[in-house]
Every structure is written in structure tokens, then in C-alpha cells.
Chains A and B, each alone.
Chain A
Amino acid sequence: MSELDTALLHTYEKAVGINCFVVDLEAPDEIPGSGYAFCNECYSKQKAEFGRAKCDNLMEYAAYQSVRWGGKYEFLCPAGAAFISTSGMRNGMLRYGLFAGPFIMVSHSDFLANEISGLFSHGAEFIKDTAKQLPYIAPHRVSSLADMLIMVVAYSEHRDSEDIRLAAETSERYNEIFRTMQNIGDSEAEYVYPIDTEKRLQRYITSGDKKGAQRALNEILGAIFFSAGADFVAIRTRVTELLVLLSRAAIEGGAEPSRIFGLNRDYLGEINKFDNVEDLSNWLANMLSSFTGLVFAAPDAKHTDTIQKVMEYVNTNYMNRITLNDVSEHVSFSVSYLSRMFKEEKGISLTTYINEVRIRNAKMLIKLSDISLSQAAYLCGFDDQSYFSKVFKKMTGTTPGKYREQK
């Protein structure tokens, strides 16, 4: 029914000592259950109002939940037995759930003595014959066994470590967004929109810092979701604004405008189809990743790594004196080779790029703070204010002083 490698499943079963079974989500009416003695005895002895259907629903639910929780979901069934679930996709659709279980995470005597859900009229003693056969797995091992089950699916589906990492990242993203929401909720201070974080986000994108950008985005989303509550129209509006901001920052960072605008057209059409914040934040994270990707997507990819390193170096050191020698040493190329390569790939000379980064940051300082123009020049790596003014005028068409007056 699926491409799951049965030999691999048996290896897993033998290695960890728990049985595995598959639930086909495309034909959920035919859920086979675990087919194990324990479950069969449980079905036959539990009170009528529970019934097999509830167990089947639970399995289906758990398969879907595993997607939400980084690829795995650990749970106790109504009888108190533990299961691990994970799931397999095809074409972005969830196709089947893979389960390991039943097993127990407490001692057999504890399991039998403390039946808590009221599933049986006379406690779990009812199913003691088969319960005795359930393997005991210490709880601290269970998370790792679940991770291994994810790898079994990943191996069968030829997923690579990148996919597994992405699933874990998705889960971490939700958690970060919720933490932000909770922190805002817990603090006594009046809620204000995190405009500073928004500026930080723009800087991360412009300099192509994917990780920093995602963190900042999570914080902003947490704040948006917190303040908008269930008002999804407000959430979509805020997210659309963010989208514009992200795309402008990407263009500023050197992404090809035509490609960014193309992406925007596709994305803006999609935004209305979301009705929950998890899907929306996944979508936005993908978009962010495309945008930051485009900042570094040189037409010819062969030197992308080197160019990216150079850009990172410039973006973290622009406030200091940077010589072409420093940069070329940083990436271990000769000055002349690096200069030619940079010009070929980015379409501008390295010196011009360094000045662009400096002026971009100077503009921000001038607009957002009250520091003097000479200080701004100094903080952006210019020793000489008149040279700063000259470069500023050349790049922006106006002088630093006039630029400040416009603000």
C-alpha cells in the first residue's frame, strides 16, 4: 500500500522491540488497527461507548498531528498504552501514518493498577493477559525512538536530511511564535507593534542572513497574531504589509526586481486562502526563504558561496576600514581574481558594493536617529566626511543634509 521499505520496518521493530503498523490515510475506512493481541483484547473488553471507531479516529488524528509537531507525535491511547506516530507524504499530501506501538512507559504493575480513563468497568486488570506482553520503554528513550521512526520513513521516501531539518524547523517556528505571544501576554506593559524588530528583519534580509530573518519574522508574527486575535482580515492585512516590506528589502539586498515582483504576484493571490495562522506562517516562512535566497542568487551559481561570503563580510564589517586585500584574504582569492569575479556575478564592482552597503546603513542612521552627519559617516566606515557626502550624493542623488531634512 505504500513504498515503505518493509525490510527496514522489521529492522526497526527488532532493534527497538516495538511493533510497527501502517494506516492508509487515503482509505481511512480500512484502518487495520494495530492488529495486536493487546488491542484486540481491549476492543472486546472495553465499555461499549468507547468502541473501536474511537481508536481508529485517534490513529488518524495522530498521523496528522505528527506533521504539526516536527514529524512525530507521541501519545497515550484511552487504555493508557503509548504509541509513536509519524507520517508519509506524496506530492505534498499526507498519505499514510506509520506507528510504533503499543508499548508502556511505566511499569507493568503501575499500568495495571492505575487505569485512569474509565475505559473498563473493572480497571485494566481486565486486559492483564495481553498487557503483560507489552514492552516497557523508558520515557526518556521514546523521543529518540520517534526520531528514528522519522528516519525510517525518510529513508523509504528518499527524503534527505534537509527535509527532516525543515520539518523540525517548522515545529520550532510555531513554538517560537507562541512563545512570543505568551511573553507579550504575560508582560504587564502595554502592547506596541515591534517596529524595531521589523527594521531588524529588513536588515537581515538585505544582508541575506536567513536565520536572523526567520527569528525576527517569528517575533513579528507572534506580535501580529497576539494583537489581532481571531480577526483574520487584520492578520492578512498585516502579513500583506510585511510581504511588501520583505520584497523591498530583498531588492535592496541585490535580488533581481523582476523575479521578486513575479513572486509577489503569485503570492498575493494565495494569501486569501488561509484561515489559520499555522498555514499562514508556513507560507510566509517559505516566502522569506525565497526572498533571502534571491538576494544571493547570482545568475551564474558557480561562485555563489564565495560571493555570499564576501557579502556577509562586507555587511558585518562595513563600519570598519575594509580594504580589497582584507576581503580577498577572507575568501582566499587574489584581489584581481575576486574583483573580476564579483563584477561578473553582481554586475557592480566590489568597491561600489562596499559603498552601497555603507550608504544604505548611513541612510538608516540619518533617518532613524539624531546623530550628527559626521558621526553617521564615521559609523558607516567613512574616515572623511566630504568623501562620504560625495559618495552619498552619487548614490542617492541628494546630499546627507538634504536627505535628513526630508524625513
Chain B
Amino acid sequence: MSIFEEISSFMQQGRAPKVKELVEKALADGEGAKAILEDGLLSAMSIVGEKFKNNEVYVPEVLIAARAMNVGMAVLKPYLASADIESKGKAVLGTVKGDLHDIGKNLVKIMFEGKGIEVIDLGTDIDAETFIQTAIDENATIIACSALLTTTMGVMKGVVEKAEEMGVRDKVKIMVGGAPVTENFKDSIGADYYTADAASAADVALSILGA
């Protein structure tokens, strides 16, 4: 079994100390941080996601796998950043008001930072005004909103409207994502980009920043 497969296997079981140990070992062996992230941690998360969809595992298993991923990420983070020292631009990121689910949002953060984008992570339960005000204060080019619930995805429309109201609609690009969000939804609320997963979100963000 390759070290990536080992990392993936322990992460799926939620065994954070093993994940941490193996990520450190992989780094010491000279594996690239990006490869460890993509072939180890993210691949494990997508396996867990798939199993969850098929009712093979339940929410508790997903929670501890996500936790183990965060632990592994904490080890990787300085290495990921050092690959791209120069910041390529700023993005404001958060889960919208009324929504406390952050596994997807945290993945986006990881992928953004992996691409050298500076992320201002507002966390969860964020109202439209906070998104816009932070983007203005921080001079960020991208606002990325995540929602897991259909009851909260409507808040994304509020973010677009708020950006217009506060006069910065032409200065920021608004990206939306999350389980119930679709391309058509993006169009109908007048946001700029929809992406289906964290990796493509990072690619789009990078192209927005022209890097």
C-alpha cells in the first residue's frame, strides 16, 4: 500500500493521530504537499462522501473523517503555502446565514490556499452584509458563499443584491456552491460562478484572479 493509500485509509476511519503521523512521514520522505493533499486527504474525503451517499456510512463517520482531515491539513498547511509564497489575490469565504455546515466550505478554503489565494474565512452563519463589508475592508476580489440547505441557499441571492446596494457589484466576483446549488440557480440569482466541487472552485478562483 502506498503512503497515500495508507493516509486515505486512516482518514476514512477518522484516526487523526495516524493521519498526522503519516502526513509528517510522507513530507519527511520528500512527497509533495500537494500530492499528499490530493491523493491522500481529498481522495479519502470523496470516498467517504460517496459511501455516505450510498448509506454505507452515516453522519458520525463523516464528522470524524472531516476532523481527521483538518488535523492532517494543519500539518500540511505551511508546506502548501511555501509552494506559492506570493499571494495571488484575496477571497472572502463563508457559509451563509442560517447554515452551520462547514465541511464543504473548509474544503474550498484548503483548495484556495493550496493555489496561493489568501482566504478570509468568515466561518458559518454569515449574513449578506458581513460578506460584502469584509470584501470592501479587505479589498478582496472574490466572495465565495457556501450553503448545504435549500432553506438557506436563498441567502446567496441576498449577497448579490447587497453587493449591488453597497455599490461594489462590479468590483467583486461572487462564487456559489454547496449540495443544493446548481448552475441554473447561480444564473437566476445573478451570481458569477457556480462550481460543483472544491477543486474546480479553486481553478475558477485562480482564473478570476488572472494568475
Contact = CB atoms under 8 A, between A and B. Distances in A.
Interface of A: 58, 61, 68-69, 73-76, 80, 82, 105-107, 109-110, 113-114, 116, 139-140, 142-143, 174, 178-179, 181-182, 184-186, 225-231, 275-278
B61 to A, nearest CB: 5
Interface stretch (B38-46, B86-94, B179-187): B179-187
B17 A113 contact: yes
B60 A277 contact: no
B63 interface: yes
Interface in B179-197: 179-180, 182-189, 196
A113 B150 CA distance: 36
27 contacts: A68-B149, A74-B58, A74-B60, A74-B63, A76-B63, A80-B67, A105-B14, A105-B60, A105-B63, A106-B67, A110-B17, A114-B20, A116-B67, A116-B71, A140-B58, A140-B60, A140-B61, A142-B59, A178-B180, A179-B53, A181-B182, A184-B182, A185-B182, A227-B184, A230-B156, A230-B188, A276-B151
A-B complex: 3 closest residue pairs judged by Cβ atoms: A229-B188, A229-B185, A142-B60
Contacts of A229: 182, 184-189
A144 B173 CA distance: 44
B185 A230 contact: yes
A1 to B, nearest CB: 25
Given A114-B20, A276-B154, A278-B151, A185 B196 contact: yes
B52 to A, nearest CB: 10
Interface in B139-157: 149-151, 153-154, 156-157
Nearest to B157: A230
A178 B148 CA distance: 11
A19 to B, nearest CB: 18
B60 A82 contact: yes
Contacts of A231: 188
A76 B16 CA distance: 15
Contacts of A277: 150, 180
Nearest to B72: A114
A139 B179 contact: no
B63 A110 contact: no
Nearest to B189: A230
A106 B182 contact: no
B70 interface: yes
Contact of B64 (A68, A106, A275): A106
A82 B100 contact: no
B196 A143 contact: no
**Listed residue (B15, B20, B58, B149) with the most chain A CB atoms within 10 angstroms of its CB:** B58
B63 A178 contact: no
Main secondary structure of the interface of A (DSSP, over half): helix
B35 interface: no
Nearest to B99: A61
A109 B15 CA distance: 11
A185 B61 contact: no
B64 A105 contact: yes
Contacts, number: 97
A334 B53 CA distance: 49
Contact of B196 (A73, A113, A186): A186
Contacts of B64: 105-106, 139
Given A106-B16, A181-B182, A278-B151, A228 B188 contact: yes
B74 interface: yes
A229 B189 CA distance: 8
Nearest to B70: A116
A140 B67 CA distance: 16
Nearest to A172: B55
A184 B15 CA distance: 35
Given A140-B60, A278-B151, A116 B74 contact: yes
Given A107-B17, A225-B150, A278-B149, 4 more contacts: A74-B59, A178-B179, A178-B180, A228-B184
A114 B182 contact: no
A404 to B, nearest CB: 38
B189 A139 contact: no
Nearest to B61: A139
Contacts of A107: 17
B60 A275 contact: no
A185 B63 contact: no
Contacts of B196: 185-186
A227 B157 CA distance: 16
A228 B185 CA distance: 7
A109 B17 contact: yes
Interface in B68-110: 70-71, 74, 100
A142 B57 CA distance: 11
A114 B180 contact: no
Contacts of B187: 229
A181 B181 CA distance: 9
A4 to B, nearest CB: 24
A275 B63 contact: no
Contacts of A178: 179-180
